[in-house]
């Protein structure tokens, strides 16, 4: 059975490995939520499956279950009412330790096959997942479908591809013959075993529960580790569904389902610190705030992979497409109300304005182009709510109110009533003008739909400010607009020094806050925003070790 | 010039990469200290070069030099009298930061070429290096030549090969075309830049200054990092020569020589903690004691690669070659007086004895076979001193005296007068019989020529004891002797669970404490003895990050 999964998905894995090497466009899972791709009944079935989850216990039949927890509330307005198993950690970890042994011993191919079968089944449930992601994160439907479904699945597959290639790099066996002059050579037979680190803890985030956790979950599984998934208390359901599917496939393949388990907790009774510092935990992956990420980095002795917060910047120097630039930035700032770790916060514009295809534009005119595009993009409520989604966390709304006091408001944040969900919290971006000297204000991460247009002396100052913020606070994305190759080169230099990915002159359907699996790395690991990226060899290679044996050859 | 180095050594690099993948026998640098390999005059020139170093300042023309330090004393009896530059860390680090920029920007090929040219020149000075290693570590000449010279050079090359392959895995450029249905595809040009972490600190050990530091030094250089080499105060000269050669090649290739620098200190005024926690330091590599290694792991935020101490074990279950086994173990225990992190300390033998090719042998007879082989191997002083070398550290001699009180002495440690060096401290191994229940004694690492023959109930207990020690104290090597495939399989299981490399039934010219570059991993990173190994992808992949840029395709 387990070999059958590998055979079924082998070509997909090969394609993924090739894509990682070429970094050309490739995707395994369709991002179009259309009947042609997913079947005529998929949307309705997904909706029904999601609704069937609500106001019920979510059964995973996990050992060490000692009650129920669950406190999710949809940013679109309703309590989900789903209750998850509450774990006795001692009992759960004992079962995980026992259950993981066969998985650790399984062949690399077998494990890869199981991983790809899990992804295939999750893919087929992308409409259900979209609803679960939408009603925990507040993302609009299309984004919840794409980022929560196929894009997350692609990132998972990417991690499996890296892990597979890394494990296969060492041969299972070797024959070693060392010449000894006139004597017979020394002859040894050697065997090399991939040995997982043990149990990987994956700590989820409220905004991208699947997308940000799948690389670690699947890299751990592929390398033979057990996985304990600890979702954010506000976004459990997407990961609970994931764990459910994974357990089902593991069982079918003849493995103990406790290779993957869910540990749910609440904001008032968090278990993450206790879990992360247990001796059984061999790897920790985390997405979330900097304070807790840094605590993990300092206090956990196992390898820790973190994606924390940062301050992303745009530098506007000049453009041959003012309208395209303004529209691109407006969409970027609006998408999911800026609740992405990749959304830019600071847009640096020279005080004297810039050269454009429409002639010289003053600082105020550049700012007005951006706010004008925002007004236009978000002018119709029905369309606006699809782009903006809902505000995931009440703290974000408070932050908008406070941020408005920090500078001159160029565009105030509006509250939009969602035509379909009356209790949804929908907010448009707040745009503030601020002087470059106010770095104490704009170098803080103000998560949510808040952006500064920062008045600098010139592009040189803009780039210096970007570098400073990236090194001090971290950054995941960086955009530049310029018609001058020398400025683009200087921006490239800034990107390398700040360890942040650069997007140049985006004026069309590619946005600075979006990355494509198999081609774009997400984060770099080279500044405080993250100590790793999705995905490269460093993300997978230390999740297993090689233990060898040798004997004289027969 | 820098391209010329790459062209000159390209084939060697290719061969090294192939050897890492096949893990068959291969070596780039001859281990035979013969005129045929190194030239008629090499030995004499090396000796003269070494002697020319003594009682003089060692000039490296490093910036920030504010005096001299040096306190090396040969275990063979004399003060070396070499004085090294003492560094003002602020001034030195400022120069390193400036000097490393061009190196970080150099092409992957250019850097690999420079690394291989450095190794080639170091190889040609292997006789000088052998003297330097011998008179700092106490190794016998042959071992100092091989382990300090060509074997260390092979390990360096291995690390360069891994780093090169890892960096080349991501293309420098890619074109990305995403279909958009009936619309034109989205077309992007992407560039990927390898960006080093910054400055790597490599902390050397007194017993294997080159062998244990070269993988990190050369992995760092290959990946574009600067390197600060901080040798053990007792073994500076081999690394000072290394740094001198590297600076010479860097200068010739048009780079700032401060890409690699030496920071020497003394036992009474150590600078390592200060250096390791400086913000400029992006990577730390360490070989040495567990206490300091654990301090680094807990207190340094940069990636830390450690090889610490452990307790290595041998399990004797049965053998079809009692004499070969005893001789092999005798040599293993004697080589460099057991001052290797790979030397076994505990030899587990069942109380009821074992089956052998010479019939059943009691516990005492097995012990006697080993001590008898030791007596024979070390019977002639002239031969014995070549194998044993000198004791590097006075603390080791005290440890021998104390260890003799812990159980029944089966073979006492003798002091041998070195025929050539009257002041050398030469000691033969101490062999103690102890009961398996005394694990508090034999599970401590007693570094040096001290071994326990541990009386266990049976092989099952022996294996359980090995696993316990490996998990609790760490282990780098593990040997088993058995004629029973099931026992060998159980030992393999123990090795995987304990994360330790296994050698089965070594009775010839391969020893449990020796590994071959390109084929055997040194340490695993899977138990407390080390968090990494020489060398694999995990050892190199996180020494650099990839920073990308993208723009719409023309």
Domains and CATH numbers, chain B: 2-307+533-552 (3.40.605.10), 312-504 (3.40.309.10)
Are A186 and B509 in contact (CB < 8 Å)? yes
> To the nearest whole angstrom, how far is the Cα of A216 from the nearest Cα of chain B?
16
B-contacting residues of A 146-185, CB under 8 Å? 166, 169-171, 174-180
Nearest beta carbon to residue B195 from set A23, A24, A499: A499
CB B469 within 8 A of CB B444: no
**Pairing status of strand A304-307 against strand A281-287:** parallel
Burial class, B51, CB count within 10 angstroms (exposed 0-12 / middle 13-18 / buried 19+): exposed
Distances (CA, A) of A138 to A72, A125, A144, A235, B250: 12, 19, 8, 10, 55
Between CA B500 and CA B475 the distance in angstroms is: 6
Nearest beta carbon to residue B510 from set A188, A496, A503: A188
Overall average pLDDT of the A26-51 stretch: 97
What is the pLDDT confidence band of residue B2, given thresholds at 50, 70 and 90?
low
Cβ contacts of A549 on chain B, cutoff 8 Å: 492, 495, 501-504
Length in residues, chain B: 554
Is B516 near chain A, with CB under 8 Å?
Answer: yes
Are A549 and B492 in contact (CB < 8 Å)? yes
Q: Distance between the two ends of chain B, CA-based, in angstroms?
A: 35
Is A36 near chain B, with CB under 8 Å?
Answer: no
- Mean of the per-residue pLDDT values of chain A: 97
B-contacting residues of A 301-340, CB under 8 Å? 301
Block residue for tokens 């080349």: B168
Closest CA to B325 of B372, B362, B364, B360: B372
Block residue for tokens 């326990």: B452
B246-277 burial string, b = 16+ CB within 10 Å, else e?
Answer: bbebbeebebbbbbbbbbbbeeeeebbeebbe
Between CA A49 and CA A58 the distance in angstroms is: 12
Contacts of A202 (CB under 8 A, 6+ apart): A213, A216, A217, A220, A227, A228, A229, A230, A285
The pLDDT value given to residue B3: 83
Overall average pLDDT of the A17-33 stretch: 98
For chain A, the maximum distance between any two Cα atoms, rounded to a whole number of angstroms, is 88
The pLDDT value given to residue A3: 83
Between CA A204 and CA A526 the distance in angstroms is: 22
Block residue for tokens 């209750």: A83
**Pairing status of strand A226-230 against strand A260-262:** parallel
Nearest beta carbon to residue A547 from set B177, B499, B545: B499
pLDDT 10s digits, B228-254? 999 999 999 999 999 999 999 999 999
Beta bridge partners of B433: B408, B453
Contacts of A274 (CB under 8 A, 6+ apart): A89
Overall average pLDDT of the A55-80 stretch: 96
What is the pLDDT confidence band of residue A190, given thresholds at 50, 70 and 90?
very high
- Beta-sheet strands, E only, within A436-497: 450-456, 477-481
pLDDT 10s digits, B446-491? 999 999 999 999 999 999 999 999 999 999 999 999 999 999 999 9
Beta bridge partners of A314: A347, A479
Nearest beta carbon to residue B190 from set A23, A170, A496: A23
The one-character DSSP state at A188 is E
The one-character DSSP state at A106 is S
Closest CA to B29 of B142, B119, B159, B130: B119
Nearest beta carbon to residue A545 from set B499, B516, B552: B499
Overall average pLDDT of the A357-383 stretch: 98
Is A22 near chain B, with CB under 8 Å?
Answer: yes
Cβ contacts of B545 on chain A, cutoff 8 Å: 499, 524-526, 533, 538
Is B223 near chain A, with CB under 8 Å?
Answer: no
> To the nearest whole angstrom, how far is the Cα of A502 from the nearest Cα of chain B?
4
Between CA A304 and CA A282 the distance in angstroms is: 9
Count CA atoms closer than 13 A to B151's CA, side-chain side.
22
CB B135 within 8 A of CB B53: no
- Beta-sheet strands, E only, within B368-414: 408-411
Are A23 and B170 in contact (CB < 8 Å)? yes
Cβ contacts of A537 on chain B, cutoff 8 Å: 166, 169, 537, 541
pLDDT 10s digits, B175-218? 999 999 999 999 999 999 999 999 999 999 999 999 999 999 99
Question: What is the ipTM metric for this complex?
Answer: 0.96
pLDDT 10s digits, A168-183? 999 999 999 999 999 9
Are B519 and A24 in contact (CB < 8 Å)? no
CA dihedral of B109, B111, B113, B116, whole degrees rounded to 10? -130
pLDDT 10s digits, A293-326? 999 999 998 999 999 989 999 999 999 999 999 9
Is B280 near chain A, with CB under 8 Å?
Answer: no
pLDDT 10s digits, A460-515? 999 999 999 999 999 999 999 999 999 999 999 999 999 999 999 999 999 999 99
Following DSSP, what letter does each residue of A151-175 receive, concatenated?
HHHHHHHHHHHHHHHHHHTS-SEEE
Between CA A319 and CA A326 the distance in angstroms is: 10
Planar angle of CA B97, A472, B279, nearest 5 degrees: 40
Are B499 and A23 in contact (CB < 8 Å)? no
Between CA A215 and CA A307 the distance in angstroms is: 12
Count CA atoms closer than 13 A to B364's CA, side-chain side.
2
Instruction: Quote the pTM value.
Output: 0.97
Are B545 and A551 in contact (CB < 8 Å)? no
Following DSSP, what letter does each residue of A52-95 receive, concatenated?
HHTTSB-----TTEEEEE---B-TTS-B---BEEEE-HHHHHHH
Cβ contacts of A525 on chain B, cutoff 8 Å: 542, 545
Question: In chain A, which residue's Cα lies nearest the Cα of B530?
Answer: A545
Are B545 and A526 in contact (CB < 8 Å)? yes
The tokens of B441 are what? 């004694």
Are B520 and A23 in contact (CB < 8 Å)? no
pLDDT of B10 > 90? The answer is yes
**Pairing status of strand A344-350 against strand A65-69:** unpaired
Beta bridge partners of B548: B192
pLDDT of B257 > 60? The answer is yes
Report how many Cβ contacts below 8 Å link chain A to chain B. 182
Distances (CA, A) of B381 to B150, B332, B419: 27, 18, 8
B contact test, residue of A176, A189, A199 with most B CBs within 10 A: A176
Are B552 and A500 in contact (CB < 8 Å)? no
Nearest beta carbon to residue B551 from set A25, A301, A504: A504
pLDDT of A2 > 80? The answer is no
H-assigned helices in B70-107: 89-105
CB B550 within 8 A of CB A478: no
Nearest beta carbon to residue B548 from set A297, A298, A521: A521
Q: At what angle do helices B108-124 and B126-137 cross, to 10 degrees?
A: 70
pLDDT 10s digits, B57-115? 999 999 999 999 999 999 999 999 999 999 999 999 999 999 999 999 999 999 999 99
What is the pLDDT confidence band of residue B1, given thresholds at 50, 70 and 90?
low
pLDDT of A1 > 80? The answer is no
pLDDT 10s digits, B490-537? 999 999 999 999 999 999 999 999 999 999 999 999 999 999 999 999
Is A193 near chain B, with CB under 8 Å?
Answer: yes
The pLDDT value given to residue B441: 97
Helix (H, G, I), strand (E, B) or coil at A73: strand
């Amino acid at each position: 059975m387990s070999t059958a999964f590998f055979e079924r998905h082998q070509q997909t894995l090969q394609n993924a490995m090739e894509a990682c090497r070429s970094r050309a466009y490739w995707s395994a899972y369709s991002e179009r939520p259309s009947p042609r791709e997913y079947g005529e009944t998929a949307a309705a079935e997904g909706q029904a499956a999601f609704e069937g989850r609500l106001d019920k216990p979510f059964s995973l039949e996990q050992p060490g279950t000692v009650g129920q927890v669950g406190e999710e509330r949809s940013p679109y307005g309703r309590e989900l009412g789903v209750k998850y198993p509450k774990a006795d950690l001692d009992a759960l970890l004992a079962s995980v330790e026992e259950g993981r042994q066969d998985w650790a011993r399984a062949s690399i191919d077998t494990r890869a096959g199981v991983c790809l079968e899990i992804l295939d089944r999750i893919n087929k449930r992308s409409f259900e997942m979209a609803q679960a992601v939408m009603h925990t994160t507040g993302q609009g439907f299309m984004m919840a479908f794409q980022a929560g479904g196929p894009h997350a699945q692609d990132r998972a597959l990417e991690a499996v591809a890296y892990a597979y290639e890394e494990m296969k790099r060492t041969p299972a066996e070797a024959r070693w013959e060392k010449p000894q002059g006139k004597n017979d050579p020394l002859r040894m037979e050697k065997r090399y075993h991939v040995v997982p680190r043990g149990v990987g803890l994956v700590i989820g985030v409220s905004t991208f529960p699947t997308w940000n956790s799948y690389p670690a979950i699947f890299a751990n599984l592929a390398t033979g580790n057990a996985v304990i998934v600890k979702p954010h208390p506000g976004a459990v359901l997407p990961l609970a569904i994931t764990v459910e599917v994974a357990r089902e496939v593991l069982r079918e393949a003849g493995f103990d389902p406790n290779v993957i388990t869910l540990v749910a907790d609440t904001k008032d009774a968090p278990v993450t610190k206790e879990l992360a510092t247990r001796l059984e935990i061999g790897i920790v992956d985390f997405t979330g705030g900097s304070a807790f990420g840094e605590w993990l980095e300092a206090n956990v002795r196992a390898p820790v992979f973190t994606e924390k917060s940062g301050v992303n910047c745009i530098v506007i120097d000049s453009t041959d497409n003012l309208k395209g630039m303004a529209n691109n930035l407006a969409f970027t700032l609006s998408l999911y109300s800026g609740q992405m770790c990749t959304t830019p916060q600071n847009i640096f514009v020279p005080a004297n304005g810039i050269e454009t295809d429409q002639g010289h534009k003053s600082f105020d005119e550049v700012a007005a182009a951006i706010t004008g595009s925002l007004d236009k993009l978000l002018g119709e409520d029905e369309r606006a709510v699809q782009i903006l989604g809902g505000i995931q966390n009440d703290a974000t709304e408070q932050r908008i109110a406070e941020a408005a006091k920090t500078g001159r408001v160029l565009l105030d944040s509006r509250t939009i009533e969602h035509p379909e969900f009356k209790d949804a919290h929908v907010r448009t971006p707040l745009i503030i003008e601020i002087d470059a000297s106010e770095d104490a204000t704009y170098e803080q991460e103000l998560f949510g739909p808040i952006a500064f247009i920062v008045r600098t002396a010139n592009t040189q100052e803009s780039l210096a400010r970007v570098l400073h913020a990236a090194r001090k606070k971290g950054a995941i994305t960086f955009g530049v607009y310029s018609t001058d190759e020398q400025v683009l080169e200087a921006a490239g230099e800034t990107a390398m020094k700040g360890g942040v990915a650069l997007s140049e002159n985006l004026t069309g359907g590619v946005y600075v806050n979006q990355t494509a699996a198999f081609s774009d790395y997400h984060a770099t690991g080279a500044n405080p925003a993250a100590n790793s990226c999705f995905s490269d060899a460093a993300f997978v290679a230390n999740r297993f070790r090689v233990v060898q044996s040798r004997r004289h050859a027969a």
